[in-house]
């Protein structure tokens, strides 16, 4: 184990900052508070950079921490991160700094509470990525709702009360149903008939390295001593390999999937997202799009797919015995594709609508984008999963950037109506350039980050079923359509609205927080290898867990775990 | 009971008094408080409150000593089986004492404002607590019924305590009539049980019921089956108790009584009285009627499902915060019933932890409502909390924690309680191979989302609006502030580090859980 509990530090540092603000600053000192909070976010970001020394050749869960917490129910304070989590954590902390910087002018009331909540939100979100204990994960997952509720509800737009409660209740429905799944799977770890069939090979595969595997066995020992089950995520994933396919696994899959699907959000659970985005303050949107949505896709990657591999890969559970081929995976793929197309069409509608809101457009484009992530995930092959995970990061970069850009123009004009703008490139050339770079990123121009991840996701989908890839590609074409159309309507042509004549271009502060996002978009687009190398090994392990015999480049051919267990 | 008496030599065993030491201390203190009230001048009658708090504290200490000295030799029977001290009784007594202490602490200033600062109030609270404590340790239908009446009678008076106020009188009348009615039904059920078993001792009844329930109707030599009568008795008992815990369809009295009663009494009524009724419920249904589990578990499950739904949906439209909390307490009775339905270690642990946490959070919530009652301002509408976050940030933060805990958000105690309640249901469903337990758990958990809608309303008016209801400062007394702080600290502690509490609870209720966990086909 590491001498320095780096994951705990990264997780709890923001909370410490929130406490400092609560205790040391007074309500009136808004200037000091915002500077302090931003600096503190910077510190948290720098601290999280230490995670980049994640050993990519070793793979698996690293930076492990393990402490006793509630032994009577088998819950432990266990932290660990694989390459996927590392990238998402760094993305979160980076967006934290940017969100704080972008709020300096935007937030004009109750600044103290605002920055306290922003910091607490970061703890909750980072905690979701760092937990290696399902109970701990669930706490962070659900608590993350509360700060976001306040951020939307206090500093949001006109309809903020409605949007805040809708956001809260919608996402709550999913997570309470998930609680039943959490409880059930915990009881399953006490079912010796089931756990007896778990092989060490499975645990080693999912743990990825010696230390993590050792942690699992020490956790199991402690649980056996107390006569409890365990919440260790690696062990739960291993349990998945021996869980019989049937009603129980399918129900458990959906209990978890509902919680995550609402977070993602997948069609038809997406309706909270446009409302929340439109009403949320810019920083809220940045965190919401950049990070909170990833809690859902990350959940699918971390829990649903490895924990219920048979259900995830299933294509014939429903209508069994008939000619129809329809299973759990078919539902997920279907909803993902509908989400891609629907999100894109809805976004396009907001370009032409008379009072089309740019923020709503970006929100719907997120629905479409997250559909691509889901399509990649449920392609269940190395290309698809790698692409999907990378797309989570990329979407965090470009959608955050787009929301920031929308926020910038909103601060100047107090409207986000597409029809109000036109010819902006004449008065705000810098802004137009940055916006163009992000639009190009969003539509997947080669050499920009989204191209890589969309290409990989769709290639994975193609390997699974060419039709899926075809539908996904249609969504991408629509994406390009409305993004370019939007850009044309806002930035080209002449300025026909006198209010737009005297707009100021980007300020130094705005350049500062936009630059890292542009650099990241270019870097991942031109040379994605460093990023892919973080996610490759953990992702391939998941593929191997779900489809033991699927050929994975760079890994020895696998043996069916079920067969292996049977042979034993 | 009389059967046993014949076998024993001594009529009264002085050593038995040790078993009821906490109750004795409270009774003595209550009597002294009554005397103090007469001696002290009116403006000093607050001293009675502090004296009563001291009494509760002493009783708590004696309870702790009892636990420390006899925890290895539980259960202990006394008074010819009238009283049984076991882990279950000790835990419940602890909850009642915490509730009583908080109730007294939040009352002092409130009664001043209401102009009803009389020492009898505290005497009545103490007597009610004595009744509750005997309910937890009674092991005989007679002792149980007497304790129930002791508690109920004091509460009738307490609800009417602001005697100049119409609403309070009306509430007391309703509560009294329905309460007396339900006691009658309960007594009817008890008499049937006595008729069947020939004993009022719960253990004896349990053994007789087991033989009757297991006997097949056919092939019996000894006359007609007693099963129908047993079922009738069980249903009468269950209905009487549904009244007491305010479960649907016997919940009608609760909103009116809760709204009309003085707020401090409402707080105690909704926590202490409910917890005590649950103690009685658990005692009778686990110890005496466990072999009829297959009959009563579906019934309780159905009532729980309806109660949760009705309580939650009715609360959504309430404008008065006391009434809203009354409906919330109805729905919480439904959640607590789930613990009995589960009937295993998880279920009982959930029941006890949730009752403790519920006592803390409900007391806290009512404490905040009390602090809004100022001279000339009633302050019991949800809207009266508007802008509290700016006027009194500390109070608003505490109210937020109480509300989130009532809803069951993680890192609050409410989550831990619900976690065990739902876990118990799932475990029972797996053990018996019945799917309705899963559906019940799913139904209950989906309804927590509804409950969040109205709990969040408090948070909404406190934080999200820019309007402030009024500029008058809150009426806070040190006792109230301490009570609120203790409640918040307890809720957060239980939520973040529940290990000691779970450990203690599971250990103390293990014998009971062993009875309940026997799967009935």
Chain A residues inside the 8 Å CB shell of B452: 168-169, 172
A70: nearest CB among B423, B446, B498:
B498
Nearest residue of chain A to residue B424 (CA atoms): A183
pLDDT of B515: 80
Interface contact B423-A187, CB threshold 8 A = yes
Listing DSSP states for A266-324 in one string gives: PTTS-THHHHHHHHS-HHHHHHIIIIIHHHHHHHIIIIIHHHSHHHHT-SSSBTTTSS-
- Global confidence as pTM: 0.92
Tell me the CA distances in angstroms from A562 to A305, A310, A439, one per residue in order. Answer: 16, 11, 47
pLDDT of B222: 52
Chain B residues inside the 8 Å CB shell of A23: none
Interface contact B427-A187, CB threshold 8 A = yes
Whole-angstrom distance, CA of residue A556 vs CA of residue A535? 18
Instruction: Say if residues A275 and A159 touch (Cβ distance below 8 Å).
Output: yes
Taking the mean position of all CA atoms in its chain, how far away is CA A229? Answer: 29
List, in sequence order, the alpha helices (H) in A324-444. 328-352, 358-379, 382-413, 424-427, 429-442
Task: Spell out the long-range contacts of B196-202 with Cβ–Cβ below 8 A and sequence spacing 24 or more.
Answer: B196/B226, B196/B229, B196/B230, B196/B233, B199/B1, B199/B3, B200/B1, B200/B140, B200/B141, B200/B142, B201/B1, B201/B4, B201/B81, B201/B139, B201/B140, B202/B139, B202/B140, B202/B141, B202/B283, B202/B284, B202/B287, B202/B288
Give the residue among A305, A306, A239, A232 at the shortest CA–CA distance from A64: A232
Taking the mean position of all CA atoms in its chain, how far away is CA A351? Answer: 26
Cβ neighbourhood burial of A463 (10 Å; 0-12, 13-18, 19+): middle
Chain A residues inside the 8 Å CB shell of B503: 72
- Answer yes or no: is pLDDT of A394 > 80: yes
Whole-angstrom distance, CA of residue B396 vs CA of residue B462? 7
Give the residue among B520, B517, B473, B508 at the shortest CA–CA distance from B137: B508
- Answer yes or no: is pLDDT of A390 > 90: yes
Residue A507: Cβ within 10 Å count: 11
Whole-angstrom distance, CA of residue A206 vs CA of residue A217? 13
Chain B residues inside the 8 Å CB shell of A142: 409-410
Retrieve residue B220's tokens: 């019996």
Whole-angstrom distance, CA of residue B178 vs CA of residue B131? 19
The angle formed by the CA atoms of residues A273, A279 and A284, to the nearest 5 degrees, is 80
Beta strand extents in A6-90 (DSSP E only)? 62-70, 75-81
Q: By three-state DSSP, how is residue A77 classified?
A: strand
Whether the upstream peptide bond of residue A268 has omega within 30° of 0, thus cis, is yes
Interface contact A179-B446, CB threshold 8 A = no
Summarised one tens digit per residue, pLDDT across range A197-245 is 888 888 888 888 888 888 888 988 888 888 888 999 999 988 888 888 8
Whole-angstrom distance, CA of residue A510 vs CA of residue A179? 41
Q: Minimum mean pLDDT among A100-109, A453-462, B278-287, B455-464: which range?
A: A100-109
Whole-angstrom distance, CA of residue A491 vs CA of residue A427? 9
The phi, psi pair for B85, rounded to 5°, reads: -95, 115
Whole-angstrom distance, CA of residue A55 vs CA of residue B410? 33
- Answer yes or no: is pLDDT of A342 > 90: yes
| Calculated CA dihedral for residues B414, B366, B312, B359, nearest 10 degrees | 40
Chain A residues inside the 8 Å CB shell of B417: none
Retrieve residue B482's tokens: 């301490």
The reply to whether B498 touches chain A by the CB within 8 Å rule is: yes
Whole-angstrom distance, CA of residue A151 vs CA of residue A122? 13
- Answer yes or no: is pLDDT of A560 > 60: no
Q: How far is B342 from chain A (nearest CA, A)?
A: 14
Instruction: Say if residues A241 and A128 touch (Cβ distance below 8 Å).
Output: no
pLDDT of B520: 53
What ipTM is given for this predicted complex? 0.91
| Sequence-separated (6 or more) residues with CB below 8 Å from residue B423 | A183, A186, A187, B346, B350
Q: What is the pLDDT along chain B (521 residues), one digit of tens a residue?
A: 444 444 445 566 777 888 888 999 999 999 999 898 888 887 787 888 999 999 999 999 999 998 888 777 778 888 888 888 888 899 999 999 999 999 999 998 888 888 888 888 999 999 999 999 999 999 999 999 999 999 999 999 999 988 888 889 999 999 999 999 999 999 999 999 998 888 888 888 888 888 877 765 554 555 567 788 888 999 999 999 999 899 988 888 999 999 999 999 999 999 999 999 999 999 899 888 888 888 889 999 999 999 999 999 999 999 999 999 999 999 999 999 999 999 888 999 999 999 999 999 999 999 999 988 887 788 888 888 888 888 888 899 999 999 999 999 998 999 999 999 999 999 998 888 888 999 999 999 999 999 999 999 999 999 887 788 777 888 888 889 999 999 999 999 999 999 999 999 988 888 888 887 665 54
* DSSP-derived pairing of the beta strands A75-81 and B76-78: unpaired
Percent of chain A residues past pLDDT 90, beyond the cut: 45
Look at the alpha carbons of A392, A398, A400, A402 in this order and tell me if their dihedral is positive or negative. Answer: negative
Tell me the CA distances in angstroms from B1 to B4, B23, B211, B260, one per residue in order. Answer: 5, 22, 20, 41
Nearest residue of chain B to residue A139 (CA atoms): B410
Give the residue among A459, A292, A139 at the shortest CA–CA distance from B411: A139
pLDDT of B216: 57
The reply to whether A139 touches chain B by the CB within 8 Å rule is: yes
- Answer yes or no: is pLDDT of A33 > 50: yes
pLDDT of A56: 86
Interface contact B499-A70, CB threshold 8 A = yes
Retrieve residue A200's tokens: 């060490």
Summarised one tens digit per residue, pLDDT across range B463-472 is 887 788 777 8
pLDDT of A437: 92
The reply to whether B453 touches chain A by the CB within 8 Å rule is: yes
Retrieve residue B406's tokens: 């009532």
């Amino acid at each position: 184990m590491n001498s320095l509990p780096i994951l705990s530090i990264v997780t709890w540092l923001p909370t410490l900052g929130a406490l400092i603000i609560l205790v040391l600053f007074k309500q009136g000192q808004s200037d000091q508070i915002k500077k302090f909070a931003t600096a503190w976010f910077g510190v948290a970001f720098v601290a999280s950079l230490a995670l980049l020394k994640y050993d990519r050749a070793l793979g698996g869960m690293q930076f492990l921490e393990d402490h006793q917490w509630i032994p009577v129910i088998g819950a432990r304070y266990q932290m660990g991160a694989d390459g996927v989590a590392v990238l998402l954590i760094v993305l979160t902390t980076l967006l934290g700094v940017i969100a704080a910087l972008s709020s300096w002018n935007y937030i004009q009331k109750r600044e103290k509470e605002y920055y306290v909540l922003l910091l607490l939100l970061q703890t909750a979100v980072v905690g979701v990525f760092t937990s290696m204990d399902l109970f701990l994960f669930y706490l962070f997952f659900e608590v993350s709702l509360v700060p976001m509720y306040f951020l939307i509800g206090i500093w949001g737009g006109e309809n903020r009360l409605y949007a805040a409660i809708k956001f809260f209740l919608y996402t709550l429905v999913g997570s309470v149903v998930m609680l039943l799944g959490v409880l059930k799977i915990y009881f399953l770890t006490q079912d010796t008939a089931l756990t007896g069939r778990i092989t060490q090979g499975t645990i080693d595969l999912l743990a990825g390295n010696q230390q993590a595997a050792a942690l699992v066995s020490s956790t199991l020992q402690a649980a056996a001593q107390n006569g409890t089950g365990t919440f260790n995520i690696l062990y739960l994933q291993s349990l998945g390999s021996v869980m019989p396919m049937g009603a129980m696994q399918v129900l458990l899959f959906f209990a978890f999937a509902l919680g995550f699907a609402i977070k993602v959000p997948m069609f038809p659970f997406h309706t909270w997202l446009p409302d929340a985005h439109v009403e949320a303050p810019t920083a809220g949107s940045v965190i919401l799009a950049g990070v909170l949505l990833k809690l859902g896709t990350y959940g699918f990657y971390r829990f649903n797919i490895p924990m219920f591999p048979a259900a995830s890969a299933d294509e014939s559970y429903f209508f069994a015995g008939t000619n129809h081929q329809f299973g759990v995976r078919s539902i997920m793929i279907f909803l993902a594709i509908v989400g891609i197309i629907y999100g894109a069409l809805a976004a396009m509608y907001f370009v032409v609508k008379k009072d089309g809101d740019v923020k709503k457009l970006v929100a719907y484009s997120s629905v479409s984008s997250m559909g691509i992530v889901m399509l990649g995930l449920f392609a269940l092959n190395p290309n698809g999963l790698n692409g999907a995970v990378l797309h989570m990061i990329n979407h965090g970069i470009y959608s955050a950037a787009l929301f920031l850009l929308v926020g910038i123009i909103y601060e100047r004009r107090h409207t986000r109506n597409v029809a109000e703008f036109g010819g902006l490139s004449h008065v705000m050339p810098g802004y137009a350039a940055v916006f163009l770079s992000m639009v190009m990123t969003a539509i997947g121009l080669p050499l920009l980050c989204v191209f890589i991840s969309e290409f990989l996701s769709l290639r994975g989908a193609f390997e699974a079923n060419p039709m899926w890839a075809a539908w996904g590609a249609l969504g991408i074409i629509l994406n390009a359509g409305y993004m370019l159309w939007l850009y044309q309507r806002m930035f080209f042509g002449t300025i026909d609205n006198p209010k737009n004549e005297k707009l100021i271009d980007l300020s130094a502060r705005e350049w500062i927080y936009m630059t890292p996002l542009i650099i990241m978009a270019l870097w991942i687009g031109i040379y994605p290898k460093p990023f892919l190398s973080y996610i490759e090994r953990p992702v391939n392990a998941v593929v191997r867990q779900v489809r033991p015999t699927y050929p994975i480049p760079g890994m020895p051919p696998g043996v069916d775990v079920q067969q292996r267990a049977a042979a034993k | 009971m009389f059967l046993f008496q014949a076998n024993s030599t001594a009529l009264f065993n002085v050593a038995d008094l040790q078993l009821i030491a906490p109750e004795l201390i409270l009774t003595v203190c209550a009597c002294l408080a009554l005397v103090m009230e007469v001696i002290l001048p009116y403006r000093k009658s607050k001293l009675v409150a502090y004296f009563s708090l001291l009494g509760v504290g002493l009783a708590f200490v004696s309870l702790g000593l009892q636990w420390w000295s006899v925890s290895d030799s539980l259960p202990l029977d006394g008074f010819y089986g009238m009283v049984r001290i076991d882990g279950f009784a000790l835990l419940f007594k602890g909850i009642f004492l915490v509730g009583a202490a908080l109730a007294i602490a939040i009352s002092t200033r409130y009664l001043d404002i209401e102009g009803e600062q009389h020492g009898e109030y505290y005497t009545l609270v103490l007597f009610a607590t004595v009744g509750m404590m005997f309910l937890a340790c009674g092991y005989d239908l007679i002792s149980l019924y007497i304790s129930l009446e002791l508690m109920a009678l004091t509460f009738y008076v307490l609800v009417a305590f602001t005697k100049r106020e119409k609403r309070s009188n009306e509430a007391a009348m309703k509560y009294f009539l329905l309460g007396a009615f339900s006691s009658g039904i309960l007594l009817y059920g008890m008499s049937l049980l006595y008729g069947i078993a020939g004993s009022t001792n719960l253990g004896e009844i349990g053994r007789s019921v087991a033989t009757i329930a297991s006997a097949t109707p056919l092939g019996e030599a000894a006359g007609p089956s007693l099963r129908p009568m047993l079922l009738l008795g069980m249903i009468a008992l269950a209905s009487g108790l549904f009244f007491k815990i305010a479960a649907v369809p016997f919940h009608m009295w609760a909103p009116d009584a809760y709204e009309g009663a003085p707020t401090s009494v409402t707080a105690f009524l909704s926590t202490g009285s409910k917890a005590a009724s649950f103690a009685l419920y658990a005692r009778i249904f686990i110890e005496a009627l466990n072999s009829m589990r297959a009959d009563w578990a579906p019934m309780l499950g159905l009532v729980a499902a309806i109660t949760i739904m009705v309580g939650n949906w009715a609360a959504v439209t309430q404008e008065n915060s006391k009434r809203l909390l009354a409906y919330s307490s109805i729905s919480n009775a439904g959640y607590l019933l789930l613990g009995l339905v589960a009937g295993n270690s998880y279920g009982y642990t959930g029941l006890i932890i949730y009752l403790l946490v519920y006592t803390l959070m409900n007391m806290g919530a009512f404490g905040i409502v009390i602090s809004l009652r100022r001279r000339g301002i009633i302050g019991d509408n949800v809207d009266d909390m508007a802008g509290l976050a700016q006027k009194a940030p500390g109070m608003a933060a505490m109210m937020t924690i109480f509300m989130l805990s009532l809803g069951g958000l993680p890192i609050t105690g409410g989550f831990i309680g619900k976690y065990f309640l739902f876990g118990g249901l799932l475990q029972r469903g797996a053990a018996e191979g019945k799917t309705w337990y899963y559906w019940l758990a799913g139904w209950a958990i989906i309804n927590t989302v509804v409950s969040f809608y109205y709990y969040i309303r408090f948070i909404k008016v406190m934080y999200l609006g820019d309007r402030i209801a009024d500029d008058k400062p809150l009426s806070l007394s040190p006792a109230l502030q301490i009570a609120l702080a203790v409640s918040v600290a307890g809720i957060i502690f239980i939520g973040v580090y529940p290990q000691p509490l779970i450990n203690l609870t599971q250990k103390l209720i293990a014998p009971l859980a062993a009875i309940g966990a026997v799967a009935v086909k």
